[in-house]
């Protein structure tokens, strides 16, 4: 049975010839519609009438989110470029199109690429390859060439997340990134809070242009690489860069999950240690309000938690915060069962928990959340307030703060660094 295929090509002279050649040959493909623009393509793809699309890089408004929507609809994407057009090929691959061929490859190879793409698409079926399989004649298309990277290997991404109620997510995120940088680990701090980022204000970076939104925009257009990400991330000291977020909660649609995944991939190549300050909410209620695919406010947070190597769940130490943490952990397990978060209890003090605070909190987490181990950060109101008032970090305003020392220990553990002890460096 022939595979139904769409075409979406802008102004290419070879498009009509290709459609005619596919109609005149018997390679298992049938062109069911020639889409005139991206809106037409997405509309037809959502109906389920096609299994693949042949498109060109110059299709207007084509971005990574569009490719993601096509893939989610079960439509495999195959890119066709003019012979020798390396820029178009590179852009399509950066948008997530794995199968890209020159337009003059011939009907047989193009058909084989479509079959290969459909086999790897959601809902696609792979059949064993044999001599009669058209994919046997398909050359190894390979992945896009990796960009030049300044780090020795892929860096670690740490997502700092937690329930509502201001448990100190931003304080922990800023402290971890700053302490890792002071320990000699190249660090990148990303503000990805879709409900209004505050990292820039905490560090005294009063810049109205959010760096993360610009990076996500370039990722969506297929133009983000390590060099452009480095330009967008502000350098606050030699080993620490900051990608500021948006202070306006209404700008959340700029952070699409497909684009954020590209940003995190580039961040791994730019820095050895990336800390992401996430939003608190994981609700997916937006999907209920729409019959079609619609932007989801919390999708950026969910995508970050899924992509991160380490997820820190920051909780307050009072009974209300602990109850919210228990519920948040249950929600996270239901949504992302493969993610094993590490609980960080912030603002630990005796006044709100009778007896030994650590012992009582540990017993509550074990009983109600099945959490056997946790990290505890002491409350230091004076140092935290001083840092916030001056737009500096804890290490700047209070080097001997108990909170600062605890964050340094945690940063060293997560970043694989050594902790200085009395002029020497203690091996971890």
Q: What is the pTM of this model?
A: 0.75
Contacts of 161 (CB under 8 A, 6+ apart): 169, 278, 279, 280, 301, 304, 305, 311, 312, 313, 314, 341
Cα-based distances in Å from 258 to 198, 280, 336, 419: 23, 19, 17, 37
* Residue among 425, 423, 418, 413 at smallest CA distance from 156: 413
Residue 284 has a pLDDT of 74
Q: What is the pLDDT along the chain (428 residues), one digit of tens a residue?
A: 688 999 998 766 778 888 888 888 778 889 999 998 999 999 999 898 999 999 998 898 899 989 988 998 999 999 999 888 999 999 999 898 999 999 889 889 999 999 999 986 555 443 333 323 333 333 333 334 333 345 556 899 999 999 998 899 999 999 999 999 999 999 999 999 999 999 999 999 876 677 999 999 999 888 899 999 999 999 998 899 999 999 888 888 889 998 999 999 999 999 999 999 999 999 875 544 444 556 688 999 999 999 999 999 999 999 999 999 999 999 999 999 999 999 999 999 988 777 899 999 999 999 999 999 999 999 999 999 999 999 999 999 999 999 999 999 999 999 998 887 655 555 55
| Domain architecture of the chain: domains with CATH | 3-137 (3.40.50.2300), 156-419 (3.40.50.300)
Residue 350 has a pLDDT of 87
């Amino acid at each position: 049975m022939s595979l139904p295929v769409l075409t979406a090509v802008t102004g290419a002279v070879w498009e009509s010839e290709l459609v005619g050649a596919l109609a005149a040959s018997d390679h298992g493909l049938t062109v069911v519609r020639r889409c005139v623009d991206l809106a037409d393509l997405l509309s037809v793809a959502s109906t389920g009438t096609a299994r693949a699309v042949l498109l060109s890089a110059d299709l207007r408004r084509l971005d990574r989110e569009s490719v993601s929507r096509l893939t989610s609809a079960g439509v495999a994407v195959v890119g066709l470029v003019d012979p020798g057009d390396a820029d178009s090929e590179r852009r399509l691959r950066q948008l997530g199109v794995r199968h890209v061929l020159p337009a003059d490859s011939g009907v047989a190879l193009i058909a084989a690429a479509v079959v290969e793409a459909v086999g790897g698409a959601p809902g696609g079926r792979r059949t064993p390859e044999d001599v009669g399989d058209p994919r046997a004649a398909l050359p190894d298309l390979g992945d896009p060439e990796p960009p030049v990277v300044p780090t020795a290997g892929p860096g670690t991404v740490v997502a700092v997340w937690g329930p509502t109620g201001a448990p100190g997510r931003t304080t922990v995120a800023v402290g971890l990134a700053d302490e890792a940088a002071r320990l000699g680990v190249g660090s990148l701090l990303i503000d990805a809070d879709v409900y209004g980022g505050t990292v820039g204000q905490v560090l005294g970076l009063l810049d109205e242009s959010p760096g993360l939104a610009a990076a996500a925009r370039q990722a969506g257009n297929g133009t983000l690489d390590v060099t452009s990400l480095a330009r967008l991330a502000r350098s606050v000291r030699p080993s620490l860069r900051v990608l500021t977020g948006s202070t306006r909660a209404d700008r959340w649609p700029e952070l699409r999950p497909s684009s954020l995944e590209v940003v995190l991939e580039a961040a791994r190549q730019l820095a050895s240690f990336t800390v992401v300050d996430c939003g608190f909410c994981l609700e997916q209620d937006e999907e209920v309000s729409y019959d079609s695919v619609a932007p989801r406010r919390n999708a950026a947070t969910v995508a970050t938690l899924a992509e991160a190597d380490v997820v820190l769940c920051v909780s307050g130490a009072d009974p209300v915060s602990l109850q919210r943490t228990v519920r948040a952990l249950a929600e996270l397990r239901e949504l992302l069962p493969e993610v094993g978060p590490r609980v960080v209890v912030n603002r630990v003090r005796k006044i709100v928990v009778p007896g030994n605070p650590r012992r009582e909190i540990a017993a509550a987490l074990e009983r109600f959340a099945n959490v056997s181990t946790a990290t505890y950060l002491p409350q230091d109101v004076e140092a935290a307030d001083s840092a916030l008032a001056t737009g500096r970090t804890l290490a700047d305003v209070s080097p001997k703060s108990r909170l600062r020392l605890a964050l340094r220990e945690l940063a060293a553990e997560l970043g694989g660094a050594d902790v200085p002890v009395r002029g020497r460096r203690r091996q971890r």
